[in-house]
Amino acid sequence: MERLYVLDTTLRDGEQIPGAKLTAPEKLEIARQLAVLGVDVIEAGFPASSPGDFEAVQMIAREIRHTGITALARAVREDIDAVWDAIREAEYPQIHIVLGVSDIHLEGKFRRSREEILAMGVEAVRYAKQFTPYVQYSTEDAGRADLNYLKQTVEAVIKAGATVVNIPDTTGYCDPEEFGHIIHVLKTEVPNIDQALLSVHCHNDLGMATANTLAAVKNGARRVEVTINGLGERAGNTALEEVVMAIRVKPEFYQVTTNIRTEEIARTSRLVSSLTGIWVQPNKAIVGSNAFAHSSGIHQDGVLKNRQTYEIIDPRWVGITESRMVLTARSGRHAVRARLRELGRELDDARFEQFHRQFLDLADRKKEVYDEDLLALLAEEERAPQRQGYELTSLEVTLGSQRNPSARVGLRLPDGREAEAEATGSGPVDAAYRAIDSLISRESRLLEFSLQSVTEGIDAQARVSVRLEIDGEVFVGRGVDSDIVLSGVKAYLDAWNRALFRREVASYQQVP
């Protein structure tokens, strides 16, 4: 079977979801897991977009080994320079150039002729080749482009030195037959197509991203650009887990194989969901909580007799085990540490002692602690600000059927002072948020409040994600606790601390 290469763009295209902004350390943590997962290339970001993104790409390039690292550049020298400066220390650095190819983009965005855009793309490839032999050229909006012009562009950029040519269905416009035809024509009619790897990048606006990607593979594409959980602009991108598992389930049909360690899929999905605050819908293919659940009596009976009656994938293939380790307050340090290792998380002694204290606190409130609880605790601990910010010192809420809910909140402010405020609201969370706003004295607007149970049971931890608009910018905050109100307050303060840190960085950058 031929090899199918996997480029993961969760850290670039996936992060473009409004409010899903990741910090540099969070990006690095996801990149580490993507390397464990076995992706061939990690698209780490868009370095020219901001100093923060440049820093994150550079951190990933410096640390991640045995995996290709690329980043996005528009077809201008300044962007290409920024990409190279960010990825130059990678073991396998690759430059990714993108430029529109449809008349809609040429006329509506660039206001240039086909000849001018083609010359611009060829010049960008030649310029990038002086830095690294590995240059990818993406023909943005290829799904709506004139096919003859697309063929001409692909041939020209390969001649200029592109080693990967990417064909994106940028708007999710195509259907599988149509997109498969585009790839077939390029594979059979572009004279020098054998000198480059043909890649595809599909969006899910019409719900066909995975189908289009697999149709492209059937027609000769040998690299796919995907994201974990299908994250991405608008309706999202092709989901890595869906493409990889379709190929594993039907290898004879697709006649390709990947390097992905599928047993790491569930763990990677949980990590990305936790750090971005974008929860996975329960019925999501492969990684949704209901993907291997059966409620119908007929289905349950069939699965109990023979799994293959209603399951085409063994849950263990993607890292979902039927038995979960349950820990309690009486579990020793060794048991907790051993379970963390099994979950792929190694902590040094100091961090483990801090984590163990948090574990005991949770175990005292919750009779049984599951793997999901451990991962949620880790995510909470890793998000704790290393800088001085807004810190919760006390929280009291009062509510009842005959009175308005109220909350008294105590905060330690960034300057070290402690202050308290009390407010009423439509509910205890609303009251707590109003009290916090009065202490911070800045305007904000709550755009979204999302609550999810980490595990089952009345004593399950609550995982809250909020999207908060502050000074025209959206910040995501996340919090986990067995108390729903406290979890919501942690998430709210997390968003405010991210806004505070962003303001500090901006002030620093303005100093001559």
Q: Give the model confidence (pLDDT) of 418-462 as tens digits.
A: 999 999 999 999 999 999 999 998 889 999 898 888 776 777 888
Domain shared by 396 and 502, yes or no? yes
Q: Does residue 413 sit within a domain?
A: yes
Domain shared by 355 and 459, yes or no? no
pLDDT at 369 (0 to 100)? 82
The residue-averaged pLDDT of 394-401 equals 91
The residue-averaged pLDDT of 329-335 equals 82
Q: Does residue 63 sit within a domain?
A: yes
Domain shared by 42 and 150, yes or no? yes
Q: Does residue 328 sit within a domain?
A: no
User: Is residue 383 very low, low, confident or very high in pLDDT (cuts 50, 70, 90)?
Assistant: low
pLDDT at 326 (0 to 100)? 67
Look-up: residue for tokens 């100091």?
350
**What is the tally of helices (H) and strands (E) in the chain?**
17, 16
pLDDT at 511 (0 to 100)? 33
**pLDDT one-digit tens code per residue, 198-256:** 999 999 999 999 999 999 999 999 999 999 999 999 999 999 999 999 999 999 999 99
CATH of the domain at 413: 3.30.160.270
Top pLDDT among 253 and 467 is at 253
What's the total number of domains in the chain? 3
Question: Is residue 104's pLDDT more than 90?
Answer: yes
Instruction: Mention every residue, 6+ apart, whose C-beta is less than 8 A from residue 2.
Output: 222, 255, 256, 257
Domain shared by 36 and 184, yes or no? yes
Of 276, 299, 319, the residue that ends a domain is 276
The DSSP 8-state label assigned to residue 289 in this structure reads: T
Instruction: Mention every residue, 6+ apart, whose C-beta is less than 8 A from residue 9.
Output: 43, 201, 225, 226, 227, 232, 237
pLDDT at 236 (0 to 100)? 95
Top pLDDT among 361 and 155 is at 155
User: Is residue 507 very low, low, confident or very high in pLDDT (cuts 50, 70, 90)?
Assistant: very low
pLDDT at 503 (0 to 100)? 63
d(CA 499, CA 385): 12
Domain shared by 26 and 61, yes or no? yes
pLDDT at 60 (0 to 100)? 98
d(CA 81, CA 88): 10
Q: Does residue 323 sit within a domain?
A: no
Give yes or no for a contact between 73 and 65, defined as CB atoms under 8 angstroms apart: no
Question: Is residue 279's pLDDT more than 70?
Answer: yes
User: Is residue 332 very low, low, confident or very high in pLDDT (cuts 50, 70, 90)?
Assistant: confident
Domain shared by 486 and 369, yes or no? no
Of 229, 245, 276, the residue that ends a domain is 276
**pLDDT one-digit tens code per residue, 312-330:** 788 888 887 654 556 888 8
Instruction: Mention every residue, 6+ apart, whose C-beta is less than 8 A from residue 189.
Output: 151
Please tell me whether the overall predicted TM-score, pTM, comes out greater than 0.75 for this model. Answer: yes
Q: Does residue 236 sit within a domain?
A: yes
Give yes or no for a contact between 360 and 354, defined as CB atoms under 8 angstroms apart: no
Q: Does residue 325 sit within a domain?
A: no
**DSSP assignment of 94-135, as one string?**
EEEEEEE-SHHHIIIII---HHHHHHHHHHHHHHHHTT-S-E
pLDDT at 402 (0 to 100)? 79
Domain shared by 99 and 17, yes or no? yes
Domain shared by 365 and 396, yes or no? no
CA 192 to chain centre: 35
Which of 11-25, 289-303, 361-375 tops mean pLDDT? 11-25
Domain shared by 169 and 210, yes or no? yes
89: helix, strand or coil: coil
User: Is residue 506 very low, low, confident or very high in pLDDT (cuts 50, 70, 90)?
Assistant: very low
Top pLDDT among 10 and 15 is at 10
User: Is residue 107 very low, low, confident or very high in pLDDT (cuts 50, 70, 90)?
Assistant: very high
The Cα diameter of the chain in Å comes to 79
Q: Residues 167, 173, 177, 181: is their CA dihedral positive or negative?
A: negative
Domain shared by 94 and 41, yes or no? yes
Q: Does residue 482 sit within a domain?
A: yes
Give yes or no for a contact between 180 and 216, defined as CB atoms under 8 angstroms apart: yes
pLDDT at 368 (0 to 100)? 77
d(CA 478, CA 243): 30
Question: Is residue 63's pLDDT more than 90?
Answer: yes
Domain shared by 360 and 431, yes or no? no
d(CA 338, CA 425): 45
**pLDDT one-digit tens code per residue, 44-61:** 999 999 998 999 999 999
User: Is residue 303 very low, low, confident or very high in pLDDT (cuts 50, 70, 90)?
Assistant: very low
Of 383, 414, 442, the residue that ends a domain is 383
Determine the structural domain holding residue 353 and report its residue range: 333-383
Domain shared by 379 and 411, yes or no? no
Q: Does residue 122 sit within a domain?
A: yes
Question: Is residue 111's pLDDT more than 90?
Answer: yes
CATH of the domain at 105: 3.20.20.70
